[in-house]
Amino acid sequence: MQLPVLLVMMLFTNCEKQTDGREYRFSGAITVDGRTRYFLLNLPPGYYEAPGKFPLVIGLHGAAGSGSQFELDYRFTQKANNAKFIAVYPDGVRSEGLLGLRFWNAGYCCNYASEHNINDVKFISELIDKLVRDYKADPKRVYAAGMSNGGMMAYRLACELPDKIAAIAAVSSTMVQTQACNPSRAVPVIHLHSALDTKVPYYGGVGLADYYYPPVDSVLNVWASKNNCTAAPQVIRDDAQYRLTEWPACGNGALMQCYLTKDGGHAWPGGRKSRDKADEPSTVINANDLIWDFFQRFSL
C-alpha cells in the first residue's frame, strides 16, 4: 500500500522538483474580473537550460473535471515531458452546489459557468499572456486541447482567440457557440470521437445534463466553410477500427481532421477511465500522440 500512496503524493504535490532542485510542476492563480482562477503548470525537462521558447498546450478538462484530473487520467504530462512542450491545466469555475463541480462557459453549455456568463475566454487569454510573459512559452505556438465541455471551450477559443490559438483539438465534444463565430484566420482543427458515445452523440442529440448537442459533421462542415477549405472532405481510412476524414486545402495552409472510432465511448482515447462507471477509452488510437503530431504542423 505504501508505494501507490507515495506515487500519488509525488504526482499531486504543488511544487515538484527534479534532481537539479528546480521547480518544474506547480500550481498558480490569476485574478480575472475579481475572481481567482487556478491552473496547474508543467515545464518539460531541460526547460531552464534551453535557449529558445517552448510550445504551450492548454488542457481543458470536461464537465465536473479539473486540471489535475485531466493531467492524471489522460497521462498528458508524460507526453509533454517526452515531446518537450509546456502544459498548463486550468480549472473551470466551481458551481455553488455541495459538490462544487467545475464547468466551462462554452456557449449554452455548461451549467454554472454558462448560466452565470463566466468569461472563460478572458481567463484563457490572460493566462496565455502570463505564461508568455513569465515563462518561455512561444506565443506563436499556443494550442488548446479539450475533453467534452473542454472541447466545446476549445471551439469557442478558436472562434474568439484565433490570434492567440494556433490550432485546437476537441475530444468527445461538439460546438455550442451562441455568439457569431467569425475567426480572423483559418484555425486548424482535429476532432476525436467515438461512434458509441451517448453522452455527447457524434450524430447529434440529447446527451449529458439533457443538453442538445449538434452533430459533429455539421460543426466540421461549418468550420470547413469558415476555414475556406476549397476541397471536399476526403475519407483517408475507414475500417473496423476507425474512420479518418480530412478537409484539405484550407486557408493559410490549415488542415482539419476527424477520427471517428468504432470502439470506446465518451472518453479520452488512450487514456484511463476517470471513474469506475465511466466509458471505456478507445484503444485503436492514442489522443495524445495524434493531437501533438497535428499541433506540431502549425504556428501563427
CATH number at residue 222: 3.40.50.1820
Give the domain range for residue 177: 2-295
Evaluate whether residue 278 is within a structural domain: yes
Provide the pLDDT for residue 43: 98
Evaluate whether residue 279 is within a structural domain: yes
Per residue of the chain (300 residues), what is the pLDDT tens digit? 333 333 333 344 445 555 667 889 999 999 999 999 999 999 999 999 999 999 999 999 999 999 999 999 999 999 999 999 999 999 999 998 778 899 999 999 999 999 999 999 999 999 999 999 999 999 999 999 999 999 999 999 999 999 999 999 999 999 999 989 999 999 999 999 999 999 999 999 999 999 999 999 999 999 999 999 999 999 999 999 999 999 988 999 999 999 999 999 999 999 998 888 899 999 999 999 999 999 999 999
Residue 231 has which C-alpha cell?
476541397
Domains: count for the chain: 1
Give the Cα separation of 88 and 114 in Å (integer).
Answer: 22
Evaluate whether residue 300 is within a structural domain: no
Per the omega criterion (within 30 degrees of 0), is the bond before 250 cis? Answer: no
**Strand stretches in the chain, DSSP E:** 15-17, 23-32, 35-42, 54-60, 86-90, 93-94, 102-103, 137-147, 167-171, 189-194, 205-206, 212-213, 234-238, 242-247, 256-261
Evaluate whether residue 110 is within a structural domain: yes
**pTM, full prediction:** 0.92
Give the Cα separation of 222 and 216 in Å (integer).
Answer: 10
Residue 215, burial from CB neighbour count under 10 angstroms (0-12, 13-18, 19+): middle
